[in-house]
Structure 1
Amino acid sequence: MSMENVESKSKIINPLQPVEGPELIFGMIGPVGSNLKHVCQTLSKELKDAGYDPHEISVSSLIKLVYPHESIPEHEDKRIEKLMSLGTKFRQATVDGSVLALMAVVKIREVRQTATGNPNVPASRKAYILRSLKRPEEVAALRAIYGEFFFLISAYLPREKRVSTLATEIAKSQGKLPDADRFRSKAEHLVSKDEEEEGADFGQDVSEAFPMADFFVSADSRASIKEGISRFVEILFGYQFHTPSKDEMGMYLARSSALRSADLSRQVGAVIATPDGDIISIGCNEVPKALGGQYWPSDANDDRDFIRGYDSSTVSKSQIIRELIHKLKEDIPDAIFSEGKKEEEISDYLLEGTGRKIFKGTQIQNLLEFGRPVHAEMAAITTAARLGFSIKGTTLYSTTFPCHMCARHIISSGIKRVVYIEPYPKSRVKDLYHDSVVIDPERLVEDKVNFQPFVGIAPSRYLEFFEIASKRKDDT
């Protein structure tokens, strides 16, 4: 970086400048074992360097305020398990997945009272770091309250490394550090529970909250944390020479492509790019049309699912369940059957009503074969083939982790790397193609297709962060 650039940078974030600054709120998400504490410490230091006064609020400390008489064990595994259980218990008692985030809001108001004398008046150049959020409702509540001044940061660390780190922490807390491997099963249990607490309403749900971030940082090392957080803060405060990375641009285009979809279940986008970042093709999950491509709203023969008025995948699953009910009806005298309901009514109850939990996670519920839309990844692959472009050695950006059906074509087409944001728990990629793919690798594996989580500025803030910088360039 030239001296001119350094001078320009210092003028923008010089902490000695008497410039008023808005109150900022940072929500932090990090799966158990991801070293979120160091991420928060690094963010705090960078904010101080930018002339802000950071104040960290620990969500786990708020749980202790709710249950002051509950003893918290010293051993790390039992401590984490206890806090998870108390957090779930409190959310269930209040029937509110956002309640702990709302308690953090109360804490912020208390700090405001001290700083400004009025809890309704934000303190200038004050930043609050909320560690750590666990559910999507918490994120939604904070965004609704603080709007553009709320920033969600998700810290990523490969799962295997998280398990190893947590096992070491558990062993250390028990004075058995040399035997860390003995605690891997406990660490695995806590990592899985943290991702999604099965069978518990309002339980841990980091896997759903994580992809909602405005910024994703690699917590693989202190150096990667420092590099990522420093760049994020500099962009946030208007440093005009940070431009999008290849991955940031690729994922932004994938997200933009997703908006073309009118799929009745979800919008997914994909982009295929060369190693140099040149875009080869894009795709979204949408119904294909004759002679190539997918329907556009201007097509006279537009026959997408929303025009038909139903999702063929849901209809097919309903038919399968009805067939199953018909065959089991006489053998399982359950209250559901004893009420004399028709098979169609029972099927609707199990698929869309309060009984949908019965089939949640089953292979019937996860069937993908009967949907009419081409998946986004497949749309991008077939578009490249239709236009005559080779995609061997390329990177595919997808807003969601690919399903096993797309994975088989990703592998066979020669794509080298897959970058995704949203996890897809029911994908069977790892089970079916462990010989050809590696998921969340600590480093790139040359002879396999590498599936990696996205790191960088999220598509949701891409224009805001980078377009503002370009406007400032015009002003200089």
Structure 2
Amino acid sequence: MLCIFYVSGFRLIRGIQAMAQKSSALKFVSAIDQLEWTTPIENVSRSTDELVIGLVGAVGAGVSKTAAELKLTLEREYGYVVDIVKASDIIRENAGKTATTSPATEGSERIKQLQAIGTELREKYGEAYIAAKAIEKIAIQRKTSDGYDESTQVPQPKRLRQATIIDSLKHPKETTLLRDVYGGIYWQFTVFAPEAIREKRLSNIGIAKDELPGIFTRDENDKEGDHGQKVSKTAYLSDFFVRNDGENDVRLISVLQRYLEVVFNISVHTPNTDEAGMYAAVSAASKSACLSRQVGAAIYSAGGELISVGWNDVPKALGGLYSADDGDDDHRCYLWGGKLCHNDRKKEELYDKIFKKLAAEGLLASGVDKIKLRSALVATPVKDLIEYSRSIHAEMEAIVSAGRTGKTGMVGGTLYTTTFPCHNCARHIVAAGISKVFYVEPYAKSLALELHSDAISMVEGDIKKVAFLQYEGVGPDSVLKLFHHGVERKIDGRARVQDKKTAIPVLPPPMDGFTTHEKRVIERLENVESQSVGGGAG
């Protein structure tokens, strides 16, 4: 069965896939399978005051506090009516569709059961299910508040200053669906805090310290499958990153106010040094042809000057990395030696060698074959080995590039990287004299802190160590659309300053109207849920 969405002149063909024969429930799939150019369904005004904000954050990061401050600022300064839709409420309201019908209301059991129910709902109805239910709530709220203009052929939302904050998202497919539906009026904020502060916050509400590692691990990257919490991957997709690590709200409020001014184009805003640095790192990452992941890095001097950039790719003779300019002499992995990932190839060979050695020594129990042993090894850190890669890492290349080109200023400088440095890169960063590192995406394989806690700190202000800090600022993927949007900056020769009470988001909604998309999402929800009930899936 196909469900067709129309977004900004594109027809998005989405599959609704049947589950296994044992269950006739249909899954709500949010990933875009195919794009075809087509004429928009309708020609409607692209101007709207409505706003949808999605928040992402790990347990204990202070997402709800951030939601409350955003709500207050939007109401007081921008004249909005703001609703907060809590994902935990959606999970509780739909718990009856899972094996856990009555989740706990407090303590660690509440968190663990909400995690389990959320995973089961995503597995049963699709990874974007909770976001789809949030969309349903937004549409219902607009209807009950008389928010539609019924005089048009297709009812359109009135020019109401209505905002909805979703607290909080846990899966990348939720982000994908919300962006597909709401286009330029959807903005996503990642809220983060150091683990020590998150532990303290949760301990203060009575959660035992020995339960926290399991809660944190499942929340950030549930390894049970594609349907679990994926906060780290979801966070990477955000438009804004917010550090919420203090007891004082003044700094948090100031950061949120700047971000909202950028969204509404209140006055002229330009990227700060950290935003420019991370944008340079992301730009560098786009040059990587690595089959595993694209990573970029940029080094800035203490004075804020760009020294060098790097990306993960295969080094070539006499210096530098292979690139598209090398033509037939381009020997990156996708073109050379079987066109495969050599790190993965070597690990497969390692699994085979371990099996043969254990078998030769008579150490394998009866019935243990190569497939079973491989499955066991994949569940160990053997799978995380990265030393067989042909690519130099982005951070190393940035450091080497500075030396290769005779650049100075690295000592005391700052390195921006799209992904938390691995332990190999970390030791090079420390040795290079860099004083601070900013990263966007965590990297679970890294042993940097475990192996170099004497030289590395995750807390700002420890001048005796290199600070590895999560990035705060406008998301690097959003820099151009927010700081280079083409809106006129002056009126009659003077800088244009908008009234916050009447300003609208700088980017437009989908050309064919987001309410059309909402309607189709709700229709899919009704179909998916009724099919599940009708098929007896439990």
1:74/1:305 Cα in 2 relative to 1: closer, same or farther (>3 Å)? closer
Q: Hey, what does 1:322 align to over in structure 2? A: 352
Structure 2 residue 426 is matched with structure 1 residue 399: no
Q: Hey, what does 1:433 align to over in structure 2? A: 452
Which residue, out of 216, 233, 241, partners 1:216? 241
69-78 vs 303-312, greater mean Cα deviation: 69-78
Which residue, out of 277, 280, 292, partners 2:304? 277
Which residue, out of 441, 454, 459, partners 2:471? 454
Distance 1:360 1:98 in 2: 28
How far off is 1:428 after superposition?
Answer: 0.8
**Are the aligned partners of 2:62 and 2:192 in contact in 1 as well (CA < 8 Å)?**
no
Distance 1:145 1:406 in 2: 40
Which residue, out of 162, 166, 172, partners 2:202? 166
How far off is 1:200 after superposition?
Answer: 5.6
Structure 2 residue 104 is matched with structure 1 residue 73: yes
Counterpart amino acid of residue 231 in structure 1:
R
How far off is 1:325 after superposition?
Answer: 2.3
Distance 2:134 2:306 in 1: 43
1:447/1:126 Cα in 2 relative to 1: closer, same or farther (>3 Å)? same
Structure 2 residue 381 is matched with structure 1 residue 381: no
SS at match of 1:468: coil
How far off is 1:81 after superposition?
Answer: 2.2
Q: Which runs of 5+ in 2 are unaligned?
A: 1-45, 495-538
Q: Deviations over 1:129-183 (max 9, x none)?
A: 1111111221122222222222111111111001001110227xxxxxxxxxxx3
Counterpart amino acid of residue 447 in structure 1:
K
1:275/1:120 Cα in 2 relative to 1: closer, same or farther (>3 Å)? farther
How far off is 1:389 after superposition?
Answer: 2.3
**Are the aligned partners of 1:23 and 1:123 in contact in 2 as well (CA < 8 Å)?**
no
Structure 2 residue 78 is matched with structure 1 residue 50: yes
How far off is 1:127 after superposition?
Answer: 1.5
1:297/1:104 Cα in 2 relative to 1: closer, same or farther (>3 Å)? same
1:199/1:360 Cα in 2 relative to 1: closer, same or farther (>3 Å)? farther
Structure 2 residue 336 is matched with structure 1 residue 311: no
Structure 2 residue 68 is matched with structure 1 residue 41: yes
Q: Hey, what does 1:82 align to over in structure 2? A: 113
Q: Hey, what does 1:10 align to over in structure 2? A: none
311-320 vs 83-92, greater mean Cα deviation: 83-92
Identical aligned residues as a percent: 34
**Are the aligned partners of 1:112 and 1:121 in contact in 2 as well (CA < 8 Å)?**
no
Which residue, out of 54, 64, 88, partners 2:92? 64
1:334/1:217 Cα in 2 relative to 1: closer, same or farther (>3 Å)? farther
How far off is 1:360 after superposition?
Answer: 4.1
Structure 2 residue 211 is matched with structure 1 residue 194: no
Q: Which runs of 5+ in 1 are unaligned?
A: 1-18, 172-182, 338-342
Where do residues 251-266 of structure 1 align in structure 2 (5 Å cutoff)?
A: 251-266=278-293
Distance 2:217 2:321 in 1: 38
How far off is 1:327 after superposition?
Answer: 2.5
RMSD: 2.5
Distance 2:56 2:250 in 1: 19
Q: Hey, what does 2:484 align to over in structure 1? A: 467
SS at match of 1:306: coil
SS at match of 2:293: coil
26-35 vs 143-152, greater mean Cα deviation: 143-152
TM-score by length of 1: 0.84
1:310/1:431 Cα in 2 relative to 1: closer, same or farther (>3 Å)? same
**Are the aligned partners of 1:401 and 1:423 in contact in 2 as well (CA < 8 Å)?**
yes
1:200/1:307 Cα in 2 relative to 1: closer, same or farther (>3 Å)? closer
1:326/1:463 Cα in 2 relative to 1: closer, same or farther (>3 Å)? same
Distance 1:413 1:199 in 2: 39
Q: Deviations over 1:383-442 (max 9, x none)?
A: 111122231111000000011111111111111111000000010101111111012x1x
Structure with the greater relative contact order (CA < 8 A, sep ≥ 6): 1 or 2? Answer: 2
Where do residues 228-247 of structure 1 align in structure 2 (5 Å cutoff)?
A: 228-247=255-274
Bigger helix fraction: 1
TM-score by length of 2: 0.75
**Are the aligned partners of 1:238 and 1:468 in contact in 2 as well (CA < 8 Å)?**
no
**Are the aligned partners of 1:281 and 1:381 in contact in 2 as well (CA < 8 Å)?**
yes
SS at match of 1:393: coil
**Are the aligned partners of 2:221 and 2:232 in contact in 1 as well (CA < 8 Å)?**
yes
Q: Deviations over 1:243-298 (max 9, x none)?
A: 21111000001000110111111111000001221000000001111111111212
Where do residues 76-115 of structure 1 align in structure 2 (5 Å cutoff)?
A: 76-94=107-125, 96-114=126-144, 115=146
Q: Hey, what does 2:56 align to over in structure 1? A: 29
Distance 1:61 1:431 in 2: 37
How far off is 1:112 after superposition?
Answer: 2.5
How far off is 1:201 after superposition?
Answer: 5.4
Which residue, out of 238, 248, 254, partners 1:227? 254
1:200/1:289 Cα in 2 relative to 1: closer, same or farther (>3 Å)? closer
1:315/1:186 Cα in 2 relative to 1: closer, same or farther (>3 Å)? closer
Q: Deviations over 1:194-235 (max 9, x none)?
A: 223343652222122222211001112312220111001011
Counterpart amino acid of residue 211 in structure 1:
Y
Distance 2:310 2:135 in 1: 40
Counterpart amino acid of residue 271 in structure 2:
P
Counterpart amino acid of residue 378 in structure 1:
M
31-40 vs 397-406, greater mean Cα deviation: 31-40
**Are the aligned partners of 2:95 and 2:103 in contact in 1 as well (CA < 8 Å)?**
no
How far off is 1:64 after superposition?
Answer: 1.7
How far off is 1:52 after superposition?
Answer: 2.6
**Are the aligned partners of 1:268 and 1:376 in contact in 2 as well (CA < 8 Å)?**
yes
Distance 2:271 2:255 in 1: 13
Distance 1:106 1:75 in 2: 27
Counterpart amino acid of residue 410 in structure 1:
I
Distance 2:155 2:457 in 1: 50
